Amino acid sequence: MYHQVMHKNPALSTFGPPSPPSLPFFQLRNSRLLRVKCLQMEGGGTDSDGREFKSAEEMWREEVGDGDPLKKSQWYSQGVGYWQGVEATVNGVLGGYGHVNGPDIKDSEAFLNSILTEKFPDAAGRGRRLVALDCGSGVGRVTKNLLIRYFNEVDLLEPVSHFLDTARMELAPENLMVSEEYRAVNFFCVPLQEFTPEAERYDVIWVQWCIGHLSDDDFVSFFKRAKGGLKPGGLFVLKENIARSGFILDKEDKSVTRSDLYFKQLFNQCGLHIYKIKDQKGFPNELFAVKMYALTTELPKRVNSSKAKKRHVNRPAIIK
């Protein structure tokens, strides 16, 4: 992309992947062919026009080409172009769903608190200054409402210039109700797929509602580069919409909503390990399910996972 819009937002789409047919247990248990076909279906998906794809590879070949830099550049330009037409407000970047800001920050804070308690329990006492990178920062919503209260320094990464201009104003010291020990430092107007962080600068790299704009190969390349930006013991937090299976392509803003399995396959390619997972709660029913993943570069001693009472189903409206 010249870059995906990194940013987050609930926009409406009327399509989702079709529900698989209900099958008797004995068929699933006894038919090897059927099991293979089900695995193949997991890789398929649909777009916002209702078209079905047999695999993610088929979709990506059509959208970004097979080694065609011009076509990939057009994919990213269209994504950024979409967001350049959106007002630089919380309601704007959340696609008219500004009211989800509260529950979003609430659950993100609980997730972050649990991570900081376990990973950096005595940071202040040891004189360790915590630093975070907010990827797809938009107007600085997540930094202002969450990260700036826990990290001594926060850098923001956002490819849409008028969003970043608003973030600079919102995060000016005179507009923050936090100690001078906590501040926004750098504002990078750079596409995610082109960004390389400073070596070992960050304790946490926060990636929310933006990774869907990256193609699979750029997804993997980004995280492999970004690993070098983590301090020893640092980690990623990825918060994203989750498709029930396969993927859903939004043709308008050039973004892809991936399933939990799809994400886990990509994490494996990135050499990342899941330290903790949690489901977002309190969003309107018409929105996609949202998951938070804490990811480490080393295999954790234990993995914490929230136990959902039931699997969520895709809804008509989507937070992008």
Mean pLDDT of 5-16: 36
Residue 154: strand pairing partners: 132, 184
**Average predicted confidence (pLDDT) for the chain:** 85
Mean pLDDT of 50-59: 97
**Lowest mean pLDDT, pick from 117-126, 158-167, 200-209:** 117-126
The predicted-structure confidence for 97-121, as pLDDT tens digits, reads as follows 999 999 999 999 999 999 999 999 8
Crossing angle of helices 56-64/69-84, nearest 10°? 90
Work out the pLDDT band at 300, boundaries 50, 70, 90.
confident
- Kindly state the tokens that stand for 175: 């507009």
HSE (CB half, 13 Å, CA atoms) of 26? 0
Most confident of 3-7, 254-258, 315-319: 254-258
Work out the pLDDT band at 293, boundaries 50, 70, 90.
very high
The predicted-structure confidence for 40-53, as pLDDT tens digits, reads as follows 335 799 999 999 99
The predicted-structure confidence for 122-144, as pLDDT tens digits, reads as follows 876 677 899 999 999 999 999 99
- Kindly state the tokens that stand for 249: 């392509």
DSSP alpha helix (H) spans, 133-292: 141-145, 161-170, 216-227, 260-270
Topology adopted by domain 10-319: Rossmann fold (3.40.50)
Domain map of the chain by residue range? 10-319
- Residue 31 has φ and ψ, to the nearest 5°, of -105, 105
Residue 311 one-letter amino acid: R
